[in-house]
Chains A and B, each alone.
Chain A
Amino acid sequence: MRIIGDTNIQFVSRRRLFFVLSGLLMLASLAVIIVRGGFNYGVDFTGGSLVQLHFVQPVSTDAMRGVLEKMGEGGAGLQRDERGDFLIRAKAREFAGRETFSTKLSRQLGESFPGNQYEILRDEMVGPQVSKELQGKVLLAVLLGMLGILVYVSFRFDLRFGTGAVLSLIHDTLITLGFVALFNREVTITVIAAVLTMIGYSVNDSIVVSDRIREDVRKMRKESFFDVCNQAINKNLSRTIVTSLTILFVTLALLVFGAASIRDFAFVMTVGTIVGTYSSIFVVVNFVAEWEKKFPSKRRR
């Protein structure tokens, strides 16, 4: 079976169109992030407490809000999901000693709803110091990951492809983050892991095409560099789409059937895979072609 037969789509000569499209998408993402006032960061990064609470006898949101106010935590975020479980987010503060938010909450729940059994399904508390450290570590990991890719691609190919790969990576990250902000997904460490994985995958895709160009440049002496690029994309189109599909099958399954805590991850992976596929077809090679046009490499002339 074939999804895509032999194609000869003129990707490269229409590159300006795709540059404009990508630019618009990136601008839109930036705009969304700014309008939304940044991201909805999870406790990993803001510090604070996240408690997921399940009651045996259902409790109304108002009653729960009352409990929080009694605790002096009126500002805490409160969400009730379809199963009637509560997600409570309390602000960061100095957690002196062993009195954490959930300890106080347990005490207050015992007073306010005597006789109603509850279970704390999840309790995450990140102190201000730890969250600051995590921010630093994540930033470092993202920068190291990008640097590693730039170095590897530049070493295996050349600076053109390296720069192209990193540009597409920024492109993919920005657009994916735009979607994260648009759908108000929580940014946790897991989501960062998804972003990094997506980056790795997107570059993987770009490399396959670049590899083909490198191979064909040697073989197809008569064709122009643009034609070689264009054919490389076309030859790889089937593979690019098949691989993206298989990954999408998995991420969509995780998104639909996975546990709540994995859905944000699956969301980012799904969006990232689509954006990454787009960029490896329409952005990276076109960038390299544009570079070649501006600064023709001497070898080929």
Chain B
Amino acid sequence: MKGARIKFAVFTAAVALGIWSLWPTYQLHFVLPGQESALNARLTRAVTADDSARVQAEMADFQRRKVGIHKRSLHLGLDLVGGMQLTLEVDKSKLSADEAADAGDRALEVIRNRVDQFGVFEPIIQKVGRDRILIQLPGVDRERAKSLIGQTAQLEFQLVQEERATYDALKTLDDKLKFRPGADTGRAAKTDTASNVKPDTSRLQALFDTAREDTGLAAIGEADEGTLLGFVRTIDGDFGVDDRDYPEFKALLERAKPRWPEGYEFLFGPSEAHEGSPVRRLYMLKAEPEMLGSAIKDARPAPYQGSEPGLANTWIVSLKLGRKDAAVFAQVTGRNIGRRLAIALDNVVRSAPVIQSRIPDGNAMITTNEVNPDESRDLAIVLRSGALPAPVNIVEERSVGASLGSDSIRRGILASLIGALVVLVFMVIYYSVAGVLADFALVFNVFFLLAILAGLRATMTLPGLAAMALTIGMAVDANVLVFERIREELRWGKTVMAAVDAGYDRALVTILDANATTVITAIALYFIGSGPIRGFATTLAAGLVINVITAVFVTRFIFDSWLTRFEVKKLRI
């Protein structure tokens, strides 16, 4: 048999590739959950602060690894894991043509900002068409999510309290909390006093300047367990907390809310990467905003054109205010030179530039110190979203509770397995040895199908699961065609080898023609475009293509090898 070695090599390579493609999926569902619960168990057992800090560091590593693996594995749709899918439409009816132009982008930015606050694992937020936004949130409190997402954006400019005063305020809060029973929720003190700091290149200032002195607050991070300061570290001169401590820290801070210094509030920045781990900056702000987002007439990203050499080639945001607001702004900036003015969108501080000089005419710029325009573009959108709200309506919602999702998976897999099992048994009874061969092909089919779907980063939905079951039913069709043909040829008195050859050759065209039509309908279905149906169409099309390949090449190869090796003279089929 010529080329048998090559065929075998190709087949082995394909299997290896399939295993490689499915490996992350296997890890995600069968290895990681065990590791995670083991880590959690160790965390609860940890006695000393050292122990628990070590476990927490491992936990952070683990989470990073999980995100990486998750990205490379076969995704499960919301109908299987539970969660909420919303389609929002920007309501442009009250906007002028000019305002409506980038309303979609503004709404997207506002929604990203809000979804970020949920701390959902792997949310999907994307623009669909011009004015629609699709949001997928696995497992969230639906009502809270809906009401948060639907709100109109609120942008405020608030003065930032100085570092020293912020530190003192936190310390005072800690002292007060200590005398309250049940305040010891803090798990561990942070020993790492974030020291090696990359300079705060983010958002700087029209007006402004980034060069900020190190505050030299040495005590930070060395405070007692269970205290606010125990969580806090310095990040480029700002205070910040680790993202994984954020919920606990926030709860602690909220509990102390009645004792917050009068006229001030604490807000956080968005989650950002700092030395490889996610952190959030913490700001103490004057509660009364100096100015509202409605003051902004326009905000655009632009290249820096001033004379300062350090800023050459960087991007800035140029900001225009209305005439009345310009006067207010002149006052605010004039009185607070050297202080920082936070730009807070929906109570998330997106930037806190230092006021460089008094801005008299309502034309300001915010420097970013970035050669890349992305940051200035994002900030400009944030500023405009506060100025020109882009109200959104929910036009479609598809939510599935987690319990229903897992029930669907369980029953879907059970049904598919039962269906597949009946098919497997039937094939062996009906075609004896050849049936075993077809069963082999079927198993490989399912394996390759999963591997390809994982490789395509496709999402497995409930209809997708059904499509998979269907391809199991259809997978044997190609083999049935071949086997029936072989039987016929044998009846004409051909030798086994000749009958098998003829059977495969004659059936090939039929197999291709027959599967082509189903692929055509799968493509048509794909255009309907709704999530679960796309999953169905993709799975069906991929399944059929693999069917043809395994039936025509894989089973034939095994068939041929078997016939030559054992010199089969009589074939029971």
A residues with CB within 8 A of B: 1, 3, 44, 52, 54, 95-98, 100, 102-103, 106, 119-127, 129-130, 134, 137-138, 140-142, 144-145, 148-149, 152-153, 156, 189-190, 192-193, 196-197, 199-201, 203-205, 207-208, 211-212, 215, 235-236, 238-239, 242-243, 245-254, 256-259, 261-262, 265-266, 269
State whether B517 touches A257 (Cβ < 8 A). no
Q: Is the CB of B404 within 8 A of A122?
A: yes
Q: Which of B150, B151, B397, B522 contacts A123 (CB 8 A)?
A: B397
B residues less than 8 Å from A190 (CB atoms):
463, 532-533, 536
Check B473 against A249 for contact (C-beta < 8 Å).
Answer: yes
Q: Chain B residues near A189 (CB, 8 Å)?
A: 528, 530, 532-533
Which residue on B lies nearest to A137, using beta carbons?
A: B528
Check B400–A251 contact: CB distance below 8 A.
Answer: no
Which of B's residues lie within 8 Å of A, judged by CB?
79, 84, 87, 89, 142-143, 146-147, 149-151, 391, 393-401, 403-404, 407-408, 411-412, 414-416, 418-420, 422-423, 426-427, 429-432, 462-463, 465-467, 469-470, 472-474, 476-477, 480-481, 484, 488, 506, 509-510, 513-525, 527-530, 532-533, 536-537, 540
Chain B contacts for A44, CB-based, 8 A: 530
Partner of B416, one of A106, A192, A235, A253: A253
**B408→A247 contact, CB < 8 A:** no
In-complex Cβ contact of A243 among B470, B476, B515 (8 A): B476
Please tell me which one of the listed residues A125, A140, A153, A265 contacts residue B517 in the complex, with CB atoms under 8 A apart: A153
Separation in Å of the B327 CB from the closest CB of chain A? 35
Is A127 a contact partner of B404 (Cβ separation < 8 A)?
A: no
Partner of B412 from A3, A127, A130, A259 at Cβ < 8 Å: A259
B87→A200 contact, CB < 8 A: no
Least CB distance from A290 to B in Å reads 22
Rank and list the top 10 A-B pairs by shortest CB-CB distance, nearest first: A98-B150, A253-B419, A200-B518, A145-B524, A250-B419, A200-B521, A247-B473, A127-B395, A257-B415, A250-B473
**A/B pair count, beta carbons within 8 Å:** 244
Query: Are A253 and B415 in contact, CB atoms less than 8 angstroms apart?
Result: yes
B414 touching A207 by the CB < 8 A rule?
no
Whole-angstrom distance between the Cβ of A300 and the nearest chain B Cβ? 21
- CA distance in complex: A257, B422 (Å): 14
B525 touches A145 (CB 8 A): yes
Complex CA gap A97/B89 in Å reads: 10
Q: A200-B520, A249-B419 are in contact. Are A208 and B399 (CB under 8 A)?
A: no
A262 close to B466 (CB less than 8 A) = yes
Contacts of B415 in A (CB 8 A): 253-254, 256-258, 262
Bound-state Cα–Cα, A247 to B289, Å? 67
- The closest CB in chain A to the CB of B85 belongs to A124
CB pair B397 A124 closer than 8 Å: yes
Q: Are B521 and A197 interface neighbours, CB within 8 A? A: yes
Query: B518 to A204, Cβ gap below 8 A?
Result: yes
Contact partners of B532 in chain A: CB under 8 A: 189-190
Given contacts A95-B395, A127-B396, A148-B520, contact A239 B87 (CB under 8 A): no
With A207-B517, A257-B414 as given contacts, are A215 and B408 in contact (CB-CB < 8 Å)? no
Given contacts A98-B146, A211-B510, are A249 and B520 in contact (CB under 8 A)? no
Q: State the CA gap A137–B488 with chains docked (Å).
A: 45
Residue numbers in A under 8 Å from B426 (CB-CB):
245-246, 249
Instruction: Check A129 against B395 for contact (C-beta < 8 Å).
Output: yes
CB-defined A-B contacts under 8 Å, sample of 24: A1-B432, A54-B403, A97-B393, A98-B149, A98-B151, A102-B397, A120-B401, A121-B404, A122-B404, A125-B396, A127-B89, A141-B527, A142-B524, A197-B525, A197-B540, A204-B477, A208-B513, A249-B426, A251-B470, A252-B419, A256-B415, A257-B411, A259-B412, A266-B466
User: How distant is the Cα of A153 from the Cα of B147 in the complex, in angstroms?
Assistant: 52
